[in-house]
Amino acid sequence: MTGPAAAPGLRSRRTLAIAWLVVAAVAAVASVAAITATPPPATEAARAAELKKDTLCPVCDGQNVLESNAPVAAAIRRQIDDLVSEDRDDDEIRAYLARQYGEDVNALPPSGGVGALVWVVPVVGFAAAATMVKIRLFPRRRRTRRAGRAGPQPAAADPPGAAEHDGAPRPRRTRAVATVAVVAVVAVAAGVALARSAGLARPGETITGEIDRSARSLLFDAENLLAQGENDQARAVLDELAGRHDLPEALIISARLHEREGEVLSALTELDAVLRDDPNHVEALTLRGWLLVRLPDDELVAAGIASLDAALSQTPDGFDAWVFRGYVARVIEGDLPRAVELYEAALERNPPPAMRAQLTELVAQMRAEGER
């Protein structure tokens, strides 16, 4: 059938195509909601477990801290438990862990840069499917319009069974639209699955979960052993690292180890080596200042204060420099308002629970003393 008489059939096909696209869109949105929607954790333990699933072990290949047996993963699990018990919100906890261990401990994909592609894949998949439907179904419009402008054609005998197909979409086209709709849903679901897993591996890493012995791994091992008081083991790891890498982070950990062992001169020597290459290295300035202000020499104390002030001039995200400079203001300079200001700045930078409690108590005491 041609000419105006074909219009009802064309409209029917267009209506069906639009209906299928609506179905595909609804199904795609439902797929995203079903995959991403999770009820809020009912307990603190459940919330902590979710955070641990979303936090990568910094020395493992693709494992989160809930799965890993690495010492640093165990330390992070304890930190998460402590922070959850303090009723910190999830974003605050993730930000704290990122400052302590690096941005890539967050298993959630980033919202910008190349990582944002994992959020775009579902949309692109559906758009591609919709384009396929349009290309597949709508070219007949031009042929129908041309036939209508050409005027009525001589009638021809309808083939057997033609009447039952007039004005109705062909089954082949219906199947094509259904197939494309399924493709759209699958594309969206695959994109969401990709988004949920994108953070679980870093560039160049495998997903075996095995412990590596890279420079990064050794640094975290040394840091964790130092935190646990395993000085000899921490030194052994640093010795292994020194034979393969020349990193300022290793020198700083070594300086902290020397400080713990009472070897202040050795610690200062290593910190000065870091500062020769990078005079603005915040952690080196902070530790150097803290070592110097506790020595019984006015000139060295003044040099230590200058070092701490140089660190604070960069507004560091960590709390150490603020705490140490607050100590100087409170104990050495006797400037309680300044000490309160510095300790409050440290509290804004998420110190560990025990330090937070101590700083809060000191601030309250100094405020009370200042009101007398």
Domain boundaries, given as residue ranges, for the chain: 1-150+168-207, 215-370
Q: Hey, what are 214's tokens? A: 């890279």
**44: amino acid identity, one letter:** E
Residue 268, CB-side half-sphere exposure with 13 Å CA sphere: 15
Residue owning tokens 């000899």 = 232
Q: Is the distance from CB of 314 to CB of 280 less than 8 angstroms?
A: yes
Instruction: Region of 207 please: left (phi>0), alpha (psi -120 to 50) or beta.
Output: alpha
- Extract long-range pairs of 346-353: CB within 8 Å, 24+ residues apart: 346/319, 346/322, 347/319, 349/99, 349/317, 349/318, 349/319, 349/322, 350/83, 350/88, 350/92, 350/95, 350/96, 350/99, 350/319, 351/319, 351/323, 352/79, 352/82, 353/82, 353/83, 353/85, 353/86
Report how far residue 28's alpha carbon sits from residue 34's, in angstroms, rounded to the nearest whole number: 10
pLDDT tens for the chain, 372 residues long, are 445 555 555 556 666 666 666 666 666 665 555 555 556 666 888 888 889 988 988 877 678 888 887 767 878 888 898 888 888 888 889 888 888 787 878 876 555 444 445 555 555 666 666 666 556 555 555 555 555 555 555 544 555 544 444 444 555 555 555 655 665 565 556 555 555 544 444 433 444 444 445 777 788 788 888 888 888 988 988 888 876 656 888 899 999 999 999 999 999 999 999 999 999 999 999 999 999 999 999 999 999 999 999 999 999 988 999 999 999 999 999 999 999 999 999 999 888 888 999 999 999 999 998 776
Domain 215-370 -> CATH class: mainly alpha
| Per-residue pLDDT, 208 | 44
Q: Hey, what are 264's tokens? A: 């202040």
